[in-house]
């Protein structure tokens, strides 16, 4: 056999082996890369539970910066790679998201990409003025308190909801509500109208009708009862007392309405000069209910009116022991004795205003 032919036979096997080795190495490298990418996608990547808030018009960099600053992820390269593959940087959705421990990158990006928010629980109670309400709600949602407050001056919107500027506050029943962080002020108000309508079910409306009151009037009276006592067990008694006065055409003479008219609920002693104030909320001068609530009446106060205690009381006065309870009276002479005891206690404690 010629030498040249023999060399060719020896050369081909060597080339074949080299090709096999190259392919083997390439296959191994591809497998390693595939495994790496698999881990990028499906490995756990969230260290601890974390609430991520993404504001309107946020960029992908702002999202990743927030995650890095708070040390949320194990692998930021994996998050960025999967995000780009799923085109998340072009699909940023604002919201409040719950990142849970053990969540993998694929789950995380999918959640953010479709805007699957975690709801917030908005709670408001013990509120008197609309400014306080706006500030309380703004703690839970993205909207600014001024944007929320501005709707209280939108008479067209208020009329559409079926109220007037004085009665509008009764629509917002203090409680805890689940909403999304991105809920707009208008949508939040619409939600409150739905909650208000649900609250005033057939049973409550029937009870209000038996008392000769509309739901709005019940809420106005409830706001006064709410200011009169922090003792839940006293609310039905005080409710019955004011209803007795309304039925007899006697002015309510409710001190909290004077404090509201003045704009100062810190007053502990209502003076004769206060009673001369010219205000539709002065229930010493004006008979019947004031034009609107003096706070945001709570459920317990509203239900106290609807389930008021039946009795003959017409008068009440804070107890002289400052316990927060009241002395109730059927006659003016009895009431005057109770009032004198309270005045003496105020004098003894040097409480003059």
Average pLDDT of span 324-350? 91
Say yes or no to pLDDT of 14 above 50.
yes
Say yes or no to pLDDT of 35 above 50.
no
Specify the pLDDT at position 163: 98
Say yes or no to pLDDT of 223 above 60.
yes
For the residues of 4-26, what is the DSSP string, one character each?
Answer: HHHHHHHHHHHHHHHHHHHHHHH
Average pLDDT of span 90-96? 95
Instruction: Dump pLDDT digits (tens) for 188-210.
Output: 999 999 999 999 999 999 999 99
Specify the pLDDT at position 19: 64
From 122-126, 229-233, 255-259, 265-269, the region with the lowest mean pLDDT? 265-269
- Higher per-residue pLDDT: 116 or 270: 116
State the DSSP code for 65: H
The confidence band for 100, taking pLDDT boundaries of 50, 70 and 90, is very high
Q: Is the CB of residue 130 less than 8 Å from the CB of residue 152?
A: yes
Specify the pLDDT at position 67: 96
Specify the pLDDT at position 271: 81
Specify the pLDDT at position 31: 46
State the DSSP code for 168: G
Measuring CA to CA, which residue among 112, 134, 1, 125 is closest to residue 50?
112
Hey, what domains does the chain have and what are their CATH numbers?
Answer: 50-114 (3.30.1490.480), 120-199 (no CATH), 202-348 (no CATH)
Q: Which two tokens stand for residue 206?
A: 């029937």
Measuring CA to CA, which residue among 120, 152, 123, 119 is closest to residue 136?
123
Residue 156, CB-side half-sphere exposure with 13 Å CA sphere? 1
Instruction: Dump pLDDT digits (tens) for 270-309.
Output: 888 888 899 999 999 999 999 999 999 999 999 999 999 9
């Amino acid at each position: 056999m010629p030498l040249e032919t023999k060399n060719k036979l020896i050369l081909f096997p060597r080339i074949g082996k080299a090709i096999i080795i190259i392919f083997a190495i390439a296959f191994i490298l591809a497998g390693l890369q595939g495994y790496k990418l698999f881990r990028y996608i499906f490995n756990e990547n969230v260290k601890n539970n974390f609430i991520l808030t993404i504001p309107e018009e946020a960029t992908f960099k702002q999202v990743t910066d927030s995650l890095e600053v708070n040390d949320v992820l194990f692998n930021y390269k994996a998050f960025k790679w999967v995000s780009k593959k799923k085109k998340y940087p072009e699909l940023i959705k604002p919201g409040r998201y719950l990142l849970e421990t053990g969540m993998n990158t694929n789950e995380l990006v999918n959640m953010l990409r479709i805007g699957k928010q975690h709801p917030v629980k908005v709670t408001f109670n013990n509120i008197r003025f609309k400014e306080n309400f706006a500030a309380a709600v703004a703690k839970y949602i993205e909207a600014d308190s001024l944007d929320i407050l501005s709707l209280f001056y939108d008479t067209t919107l208020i009329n559409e909801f079926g109220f007037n500027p004085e009665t509008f506050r009764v629509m917002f029943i203090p409680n805890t509500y689940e909403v999304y962080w991105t809920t707009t002020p208008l949508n939040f108000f619409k939600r409150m109208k739905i909650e208000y309508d649900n609250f005033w079910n057939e049973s409550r409306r029937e009870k209000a009708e038996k008392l000769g009151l509309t739901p709005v009037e019940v809420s106005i009276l409830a706001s006064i009862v709410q200011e009169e006592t922090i003792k839940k067990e006293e609310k039905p008694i005080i409710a019955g007392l004011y209803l007795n006065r309304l039925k007899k055409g006697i002015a309510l003479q409710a001190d909290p309405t004077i404090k509201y008219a003045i704009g100062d609920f810190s007053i502990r002693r209502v003076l004769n000069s206060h009673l001369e104030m010219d205000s539709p909320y002065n229930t010493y001068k004006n008979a019947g209910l004031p034009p609107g609530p003096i706070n945001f009446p709570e459920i317990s106060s509203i239900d106290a009116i609807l389930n008021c205690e039946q009795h003959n009381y017409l008068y009440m006065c804070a107890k002289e022991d400052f316990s927060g309870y009241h002395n109730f009276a059927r006659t003016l002479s009895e009431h005057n004795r109770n009032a004198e005891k309270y005045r003496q206690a105020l004098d003894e404690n040097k409480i003059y205003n």
